[in-house]
Structure 1
Amino acid sequence: MKNYLVKSVALAMTAFTIASCSDNDEPTVDPVETATLKEAVTNTSNNIIINTYSNLNQKAAALHTAVTQLSTSLTAENLTKAKNAWMETRVYWEQSEGFLYGPVDTEGIDPAMDTWPVDVTAMNDILNSSSPITVATLENNNEARGFHLIEFLLWGENGTKKVDQLTPRQLELLKAATQDLHNNTQKLHNGWIASAGNFVDNFINPSPNAYPSYTVVLEEITEGLIIIADEVANGKIEDPLNSEGSTPNAELEESRFSNNSKTDFIDNMRSIQNIYLGTANGVGNGKGLSTLVNAKDPALDAKIKNAINEAIMGLDAIPGTFSNAIFNNRNQVKAAQVKVNALHTVLQADLKPFVVNNLK
């Protein structure tokens, strides 16, 4: 991922310059109080971002436990439990993709966990070798580790893998891969919390060495929402839907082995919703971007909330699996894509200028 901190600082400086040069007779909106900005940033940091990473880390640990149990007792029930554990972990990863800044970016954690597609050749080289498979085996190739390697091994290329098709070497690789995933979720959580890497302090206590103001922090937060909305509409949906002109290509679909793609997309929208509303899965005091926007422009706040809801409902309305829909229900997929793009437009054209111009 790009370093959006630099971009945010540049945008903030640009916004300041424009504001300084504007006609003094123009009507202005009073900036929101700094104390209110700090409350919103603190809640977003602790109760949305860190709490999501905490849940992700706990689920990744449970996934490793489930895979270890599967390797000990090779039953259909244990394979199902491992698959369910993968999907439960995936929820919190996708719900974190609205804030791909900080350690997830600077420490290279995102590509280590979520590179797509899987390098099947590299995976087979590992499986066909006689060397022990450890976490260290995986660390030099992001395309043969992380969520999608685990997904491939649990479901198989066609999503129909049976428990008796799991080989001892595949189980050994699964154990190493889930331990590697958990190591990275732990690293990610530790990177943010005050008792370890303390990246959170950069948000809660702005300084010239990182984010110089709460405005720049909130620009970074807003930019994260814009990026994931664009990625879902114009990458995750567009690439498999129209790989060459209007020809679909299921091989470009992320999470296709598990048929989890629609859930991924919806959880990406939930990531935007959680950050914007300042509450996630019952955690958070509701102080976030929505609070700040509503205080100055209730109509814009309602517009953003509606765009988020429309995007979620549009994705949920896609019939069946995404793999099937890109061939047989293309109009419904396109309709959902339009709604996600509409959300992206609102965030880019309306929310971002509001943050720059009103949150001083």
Structure 2
Amino acid sequence: MQSTGFTRNLFACAFASMALVSYAGAEQTQTTAVSTVSSSAVASTQVTPAAVVKHYADIAYANYSDGLTTAKALQKAVETFLQAPTEANLAKAKEAWIAARVPYQQTEVFRFGNAIVDDWEGQVNAWPLDEGLIDYVDASYEHELGNEGAKANIIANATLKIGNNSLDVSKLTPKLLADLNELGGSEANVASGYHAIEFLLWGQDLNGTNPGAGKRPATDYTAGKACTNGNCERRAAYLKAAAELLVNDLDEMVKQWSPTVANNYRQQLLNEKPEDGLRKMLFGMGSLALGELAGERIKVALEANSPEDEHDCFSDNTHYSHYYNGKGVKNIYFGEYKRVDGSVLSGPSLADLVKQKDANKAKAIASAFNNTEQALQAMVDSAKNGFAFDQLIAANNKKANQIPQNAIQALVAETAAIEMAAGLIGVSNLSPDTADHEFN
């Protein structure tokens, strides 16, 4: 996406208009055992930019490590399900997928500012996707115009005809799925990652803006005459390959942030000027909060009243994906990350640097983060009460629409706060990516 940025005046107006409220807290989507707190204690002396950037790298390593751990648990649940494709085992695989989203969505704050992450991310979390590329779809299926691969149905066909090219897809491997991403030049052709796996577990959500998620039967993976919708063995092979590729991809990113791997991205980042690291941190935070989360993930779906544009559209897990995106931004500002085992990694932070410059403004900036977390929590609470994101974006329901609208406004104000923080610590002209969205 193109980085265009907003004017400081617009951000300042948005920031000033938001009420400053305290953090209400949010529940994890999974139960974790509480372990000994892992903490990088902040010294009583002045916090330095170099220390903040190093701790940022430590959080990235911990966060991606948790992503890998939960992806491996998902892979194991998928393998158990494929060995015994019962409804109970399918439910466990779905639970593992939802648990895996908790750490991963928090890692997205490392995008934008770090090109190595943004270049890699498409294979892992690209969306929305034209699911007809992968498997059977309902007759009502609508796909991106001009996408030649939108109804290719890899699972039903050993050969694909795209334009003048014939592709052999008889053997479904992790490498093949990776190669099929953006087939024919269309970004809607997503063959791998969390959302491909999500579709293979849930199937299409045909409920529109009414209640309910996808309802793929476990028998879609049953061999022999009990197989529903055909090609059960190839569907199983596809799901297995997609889970394996996800684990491989996350393992690659863990190594890039590891403190024990030579000549990786972590070393490159820490060898740069600390001020360059701070800019990457702040730009990533602002771009995720504004252009990506407020714009692409909430505003687009809300204005179009389109569940096809919701992030986790097959599982109706979108409220948690949005919440944990916001959590990821807050993690980096405050230098604190709660791991999936319950331990907490904390250390020198942007918040510390800001507080050293102006304690009063530091309080106002902290309130903006808390305000955003509360607004995103409201979407989680709504879903728990039976009104999920795809219902909140339905047309002609101003009361429901106000919940995601409040989240957008809070994210705009938070981005203003991020720019204020940047200015205080000497990072000028931040210009977070707006993804070409305008916010009133």
Report how far residue 140 of structure 1 moved: 1.5
Q: How does 1:14-163 map to 2 (within 5 A)?
A: 36-46=48-58, 48-100=59-111, 101-105=114-118, 108-124=119-135, 125-130=153-158, 131-142=170-181, 143-158=190-205, 159-163=214-218
Report how far residue 338 of structure 1 moved: 1.1
Residue identity in the other structure for 1:96: T
Q: Aligned match of 1:203 in 266, 269, 273?
A: 269
Residue identity in the other structure for 1:128: A
* 2:209 match: none
* 1:232 match: 293
Structure-1 separation of matches of 2:269 and 2:191: 34
Counterpart contact for 1:43–1:284, Cα < 8 Å? no
Q: The residue matched to 1:284 in structure 2 has which SS?
A: strand
Q: How does 1:246-261 map to 2 (within 5 A)?
A: 248-261=305-318
What per-residue deviation string (whole Å, max 9, x for no partner) do you get for residues 158-178 of structure 1? 212221233322221110001
What per-residue deviation string (whole Å, max 9, x for no partner) do you get for residues 30-82 of structure 1? xxx99722222222211x11100111111111111111111001112211111
What per-residue deviation string (whole Å, max 9, x for no partner) do you get for residues 296-347 of structure 1? 1112222222111111111221322100111141122212221121112221
Residue identity in the other structure for 2:307: A
Structure-2 separation of matches of 1:315 and 1:321: 12
What per-residue deviation string (whole Å, max 9, x for no partner) do you get for residues 80-137 of structure 1? 11111111111111101111115323xx320011111223232133201241211122
Structure-1 separation of matches of 2:281 and 2:79: 37
More deviation in 59-68 or 282-291?
A: 282-291
Identity rate, percent: 28
Residue identity in the other structure for 1:205: N
Structure-2 separation of matches of 1:141 and 1:301: 47
Report how far residue 200 of structure 1 moved: 1.3
Distance 1:294 1:93, change over 3 A: same
Q: The residue matched to 1:256 in structure 2 has which SS?
A: coil
* 1:215 match: 275
Report how far residue 260 of structure 1 moved: 1.0
More helix by share: 1
- RMSD over aligned Cα, in angstroms? 2.2
What is the count of residue pairs matched by the alignment?
A: 317
Q: The residue matched to 2:319 in structure 1 has which SS?
A: helix
Report how far residue 205 of structure 1 moved: 3.0
What per-residue deviation string (whole Å, max 9, x for no partner) do you get for residues 212-239 of structure 1? x111110111101001001111110011
Counterpart contact for 1:61–1:182, Cα < 8 Å? yes
Residue identity in the other structure for 1:45: A
Structure 2: runs of 5+ lacking an equivalent: 6-44, 136-152, 159-169, 182-189, 206-213, 222-231, 429-440
Structure-2 separation of matches of 1:335 and 1:342: 11
1:344 equivalent in alignment to 2:391: no
Residue identity in the other structure for 1:168: E
1:169 equivalent in alignment to 2:240: no
More deviation in 298-307 or 225-234?
A: 298-307
Report how far residue 202 of structure 1 moved: 2.4
Residue identity in the other structure for 2:354: V
* 2:436 match: none
Q: The residue matched to 2:109 in structure 1 has which SS?
A: coil
What per-residue deviation string (whole Å, max 9, x for no partner) do you get for residues 259-292 of structure 1? 1111111101110111111110043233110111
TM-score (norm 2): 0.68
Counterpart contact for 1:215–1:355, Cα < 8 Å? no
Structure-1 separation of matches of 2:216 and 2:352: 47
Counterpart contact for 2:357–2:425, Cα < 8 Å? no
Structure-2 separation of matches of 1:139 and 1:53: 20
Q: Aligned match of 1:276 in 326, 333, 340?
A: 333
Structure-2 separation of matches of 1:227 and 1:169: 39
1:191 equivalent in alignment to 2:256: yes
Counterpart contact for 1:43–1:278, Cα < 8 Å? yes
Structure-1 separation of matches of 2:2 and 2:253: 17
Residue identity in the other structure for 1:41: V
Q: The residue matched to 1:179 in structure 2 has which SS?
A: helix
Structure-1 separation of matches of 2:47 and 2:406: 41
Report how far residue 242 of structure 1 moved: 0.5
Structure 1 residue runs of 4 or more that deviate by more than 4 Å after TM superposition: 1-4
Structure 1: runs of 5+ lacking an equivalent: 8-32, 207-212
* 1:333 match: 404
Q: The residue matched to 1:258 in structure 2 has which SS?
A: coil
Structure-2 separation of matches of 1:59 and 1:2: 32
TM-score (norm 1): 0.83
Q: The residue matched to 2:347 in structure 1 has which SS?
A: coil
